[in-house]
């Protein structure tokens, strides 16, 4: 029912807010971290026209396992198998070295589900807009450029999934990446 759905979405936002409560973004203002997963879900709805509850819940939860003590078992118990599956697909293996994780994101992107690609596209769009607004403390402009280039390689593996989101990403790539 409508009531159940709305209740689930708020339960999910509340869960993520608690999990991320001690984290901040890397921007100069040290924005509360929860602004990011909520912003990713908001991009999917407002710009991507994505209204699938599985995708929206997965977007809200997408960094909980990677960045907090949250386990997949906990996500599955609270939000079900399908939401958990999408979160799994967008979660990096933190036991691997950072460079390897970044390489695997590019390699895996074409093989993940449509739902996971939608979360990835909105996640990259949010992070790239954040980077364009303000460069994190300690980052050189060269590092920002490298990040755009890497993000484009991941996005290229997620294409033909959501034209509106891909168009917005291409606007950013046109400003920050070399063509071809």
Binding site for ligand NDP (CB under 6 A): 25-27, 36, 63, 98-99, 102, 123, 127, 130-131, 136, 140, 142-143, 146-147
DSSP 135: P
Whichever of 11 and 26 has its CB closer to ligand NDP, that residue is 26
63 binds Zn ion (CB under 5 A): yes
Residues that bind Zn ion (rule: CB under 5 A) add up to a total of 2
> What is the distance between the alpha carbons of residues 150 and 146, in angstroms, rounded to a whole number?
6
Rounded to a whole number of angstroms, the minimum distance from the CB of residue 42 to Zn ion is 13
Ramachandran sector of residue 52 (left: φ over 0; alpha: ψ -120 to 50; beta: rest)? beta
Residue least distant from Zn ion (Cβ): 123
Looking at the DSSP bridge assignments, the partners of residue 32 are 24
130 binds Zn ion (CB under 5 A): no
> What is the distance between the alpha carbons of residues 56 and 97, in angstroms, rounded to a whole number?
29
Q: Which residues sit at the interface with Zn ion, rule CB under 5 A?
A: 63, 123
């Amino acid at each position: 029912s409508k009531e159940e759905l709305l209740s689930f979405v708020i339960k999910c936002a509340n869960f993520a807010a608690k999990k991320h409560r001690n984290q901040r973004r890397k921007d100069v203002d040290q924005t509360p971290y929860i602004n990011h997963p909520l912003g990713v879900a908001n991009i999917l709805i407002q710009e991507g026209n994505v209204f699938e509850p599985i995708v929206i819940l997965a977007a809200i939860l997408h960094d909980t396992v990677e960045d907090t003590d949250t386990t997949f078992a906990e996500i599955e118990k609270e939000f079900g198998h399908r939401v958990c599956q999408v979160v799994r697909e967008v979660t990096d293996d933190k036991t691997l070295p950072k460079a390897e994780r970044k390489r695997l994101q590019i390699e895996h992107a074409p093989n993940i589900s449509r739902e996971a690609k939608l979360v990835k596209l909105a996640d990259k769009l949010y992070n790239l807009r954040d980077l364009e607004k303000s460069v994190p403390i300690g980052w050189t402009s060269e590092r920002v450029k490298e990040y755009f280039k890497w993000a484009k390689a991941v996005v290229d593996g997620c294409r033909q999934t959501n034209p509106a989101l891909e168009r917005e990403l291409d606007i950013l790539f046109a400003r920050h990446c070399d063509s071809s």
